[in-house]
A = this chain, B = another copy of it.
Amino acid sequence: MRVAIEKGVASEEEFGLVCRRRPVQRLKHFGWGREGEGLSREEEAILLARYGERFGVDRFDERSPPPLAAIELREPRLAPPAALQTICSTDRYERVAHTHGKSFPDTVGGLLGDYHQAPDVVAYPRHEADVATVLDWAATAGALVVPFGGGSSVVGGIDPAVDEGRFNAAVTLDLRNLNRVKEVDRTSRAARIEAGIFGPALEAALKPHGLTLRHFPQSFEYSTLGGWIATRSGGHFATLATHIDDFVESLRLVSPRGAIETRRLPGSGAGPSPDRLFIGSEGILGVITEAWMRLQDRPRFRAGAAVRFPDFYAAARAVRAIAQAALYPSNCRILDAAEAYHTAAGDGTHAVMVLAFESADHPLEPWLRRALECCADHGGIADADGSDGGAAGRWRNAFIRMPYARERVVPLAIIADTFETAITWDCFEALHDRVKAATESAIREATGRGGLVTCRLTHVYPDGPAPYFSFHALGRHGDLIEQWRQIKVAASDALIAAGGTITHHHAVGRDHRPWYDRERPPLFAAGLAAVKRELDPHGILNPGVLIGPAPRI
């Protein structure tokens, strides 16, 4: 049941293996990754067997997505001017491949052949000046512009949805050609990197310098630096630099009013941080074109263990002890018993902690030893754990393959999705209980039968964890989006009522707007809208995201 989509933990070596296996094909217009990639027959068999067992069925009602040629597409509502024709496309594949992100409703939309929101034009700027030219043209033409990295949004962050009262057409701005590492500063361990670079290319370019960004969201292979920054992506490190935010030394973006470049500094106290206003701005204030990123030396020392706990809350208390002890493990994730079972990291009788330290500088035994004492204080028993064979390795392998599952299970009417939050420790157990119960109950109401709701903690802070929920239900073709919506609404309502954030690292996009609007202070939204009016006077950048009229989910 390896279907959760998460930004989380893995190593570049793992991703490297995946990359080397694939021929260079174009990205799929439906599903994850490139054409020809997907789950192996064996992976698929295991997945379907577990779902069959869970739902008590021995076959699924399978539908197929339409082939590219059969998809109905409206004629483009505008044509690029002569000067932009070499970098613009109105090709069928391009428009289809840029219509949806990778969320559950996106995948259902693809399955149904619903491409009514296809962008009219896809532009591929070759350099920053092209970005400015496209923005100018779009403003003149009355078109909205959607900045596009890898397209891996699971929250409706790249939908080219045209409100016809406000816009004439939609242009998607795909940044993949801004893909160079332009400067490396070995002394400060930093590099100036263009925003459209994908994860593997970024790491490959840094490797000869002995450096690594060590930011490995689950989408690593098919997402970009600019996308990570725009969405406050959560990465490799379970503690300290949990989000990309802390790795941004400075950035550069192009707004409709002009370029903005922040000063490259290790730290500053000069007014509110300009970087922090643009990190997480999800494409509504400007198009991030490059950033100076803080890097790491490549780790040479590792120490880790898998630790079994009698229950999830005991494991969470150990996580809290480790986080409050300031030991800073790179990995300190816990899986509840059901999640451990379904990711092959446990037998379903106990919760599992995947604990790891890494360093480029020093051996880590004292750190690991003390962390294991914290575990023992809460009933944790450490397993021997090799680099691949143990629970940690099995879980990591499952994690990397998860994104490929969605395109296989949605055609079977399986509703599988994830959502994540963060909460202070005092409210954690109450939030967990409330959200799990609300989600389970919504699954039963929406689908008429029980499903599965599991939880892990992906990132942790001294003052609270980031719980990550997965749910699985058997839906009905024809009702999938409405059934998903019922579950999503119930889960999100519970999560906000229990004090959490609507997203720890998946971003807000359009799908999370109703709850984001309750979470953020109204006058902060007013301030953000004022900044947007200043930088994007015609409101062409990613309308519906973060502020302004909210699309209905």
Q: A interface vs B, CB < 8 Å?
A: 185, 187-190, 231-234, 240, 242-243, 249, 255, 257-274, 276-282, 285, 294, 297, 320, 324-328, 359-362, 366, 370, 422-426, 459, 461-466, 499-508, 512, 516, 519-521, 523-524, 526-531, 533-535, 546
A505 and chain B: residue at smallest CB distance: B269
Q: How many copies does the complex hold?
A: 2
What are the 7 closest A-B residue pairs judged by CB atoms, nearest first?
A266-B464, A276-B276, A232-B269, A266-B461, A325-B361, A530-B530, A268-B501
In the bound assembly, the distance between CA atoms of A307 and B156 in angstroms comes to: 55
Given contacts A269-B504, A277-B276, A361-B370, whether A263 and B519 have CB atoms under 8 Å apart is: yes
Q: A260 → chain B, closest Cβ, in Å?
A: 5
| Cα-based distance from A459 to B268 in the complex (angstroms) | 11
A468 to chain B minimum Cβ distance, whole angstroms, is: 12
Q: Which residue of B lies closest to A422 (CB)?
A: B267
Task: Report whether B463 and A249 are in contact in the complex, using a CB–CB cutoff of 8 Å.
Answer: yes
Is A281 touching B276 in the complex (CB atoms < 8 A)?
Answer: no
Q: Are A185 and B426 in contact (CB under 8 A)?
A: yes
Cβ-defined partner of A535 (8 Å) among B185, B279, B523: B523
Q: How far is the CA of A527 from the CA of B521 in the complex (A)?
A: 18
In the complex, A271 Cα to B516 Cα: how many Å? 9
Contact status B231-A269, CB under 8 Å: yes
* Residue among A187, A425, A461 facing the most chain B CB atoms (10 A cut-off): A187
- Kindly provide the distance from the CB of A284 to the nearest chain B CB, expressed in whole angstroms: 9
A516 → chain B closest CB, angstroms: 6
By a CB distance below 8 angstroms, the chain B residues around A257 are: 523, 526
- Contacts A270-B502, A516-B271, A535-B523 hold; do A462 and B263 have CB atoms under 8 A apart? no
Can you list 19 A-B contacts (CB < 8 A)?
A185-B424, A189-B324, A190-B463, A232-B269, A257-B523, A262-B524, A265-B501, A266-B424, A266-B463, A269-B503, A269-B507, A272-B276, A277-B277, A294-B462, A325-B361, A327-B361, A327-B362, A361-B370, A530-B534
CB distance from A319 to the nearest CB of B (A): 12
Q: Which of B271, B320, B362, B422 contacts A520 (CB 8 A)?
A: B271
Name A268's closest neighbour in chain B (CB-CB). Answer: B501
For A369, the closest partner residue in chain B by CB is B362
User: Which residue on chain B has the smallest CB distance to residue A460?
Assistant: B266
CB distance from A103 to the nearest CB of B (A): 16
A226 to chain B, nearest CB (A): 15
Q: Are B527 and A423 in contact (CB under 8 A)?
A: no
Q: Report whether B266 and A361 are in contact in the complex, using a CB–CB cutoff of 8 Å.
A: no
- Whether the Cβ atoms of A268 and B503 lie closer than 8 Å is yes
